[in-house]
């Protein structure tokens, strides 16, 4: 069974600002990767292709996280002039 995903944004959360409400909703949907999953399910993909894409996605995520950590370390080590 698929994971149930709740993407709820209330008007109170966004102080009744419709623009902010839409932006917050879009961010939550992107974070949960809902649209990406819908696009992926439109056509059949071989299991080997799905594995390959998953592996590449994980690799990119690891590289991004590593780069973030390096930048944080560089920022801490900088000396003020």
What secondary structure letter does DSSP report for 3?
P
**pLDDT-derived band at 49, boundaries 50, 70, 90:** very high
Confirm if 57 and 33 have CB atoms less than 8 A apart.
Answer: no
Among 61, 62, 10, 5, smallest CA distance to 38 is for: 5
CB of 25 within 8 A of CB of 7? Answer: yes
Q: In this predicted structure, what is the pLDDT of residue 15?
A: 84
Q: What is the pLDDT of residues 18-45, one digit of tens each?
A: 999 999 999 999 888 888 888 989 999 9
């Amino acid at each position: 069974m698929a994971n149930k995903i709740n993407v709820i944004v209330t008007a109170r959360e966004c102080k009744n600002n419709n623009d902010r409400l839409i932006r917050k909703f879009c961010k939550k949907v992107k974070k949960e990767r809902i649209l990406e999953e819908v696009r992926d399910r439109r056509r059949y993909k071989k299991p080997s292709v799905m594995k390959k894409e998953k592996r590449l996605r994980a690799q990119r995520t690891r590289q991004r996280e590593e780069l973030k950590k390096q930048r944080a370390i560089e920022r801490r080590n900088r000396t003020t002039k």
